[in-house]
Amino acid sequence: MSFATYSCTSIKGNQENESTNIAGKFKASNDVVPEQLTYAGFLKNVWNFEKSPKQWIYEGDEPSVIDFYADWCGPCKRVVPIMDEMAKKYEGKVKFYKVNVDKESKLASVFAIRSIPAVLFIPQKGKPMMQVGLLPHDTYVRIIDEQLLHKKPQTKKQ
């Protein structure tokens, strides 16, 4: 299987002059959407790397997905509706977050993020996995189902 990935490679720079923030662009008032994650929120809800810098200790109570993005990044804008849909689909099973790399550059540096979008998939137990670039919708679903929820892959009928 092959597919193209699209990403933005400059974390600071190449910003478009855009007045709207993509993080809230598609949100309706009562929709379930990924939660904006700050540095302090990351330490509390995901991994307190200040307390345990050499050991991954997941702080969450369910698997999670973190979308590292920037408002000026075109491929990041295409990930927003996918993550919004996933947040609804997996509500109560997987927690969805988003991190603006321009506002939370220290978090981006912890994961050595040089290209966005970058999506971190965190299982309840085990090590997190990072995928960089815009991936097809079905790939996000497959990763969540197989790696986070441990569902067996569906075989296609011939």
Decide if 8 is catalytic: no
* 8 A C-beta contact, residue 68 and residue 97: no
Residue written as tokens 């991994």?
47
Q: Which of 76, 86, 134, 144 is catalytic?
A: 76
Instruction: Give the integer Cα–Cα distance in Å for 115 and 10.
Output: 7
Instruction: Give the integer Cα–Cα distance in Å for 6 and 133.
Output: 5
Decide if 73 is catalytic: yes
Residue of 8, 18, 3, 2 whose CA lies nearest to 133? 8
Q: Which of 73, 87, 99, 134 is catalytic?
A: 73
Q: Please list the active-site residues.
A: 73, 76
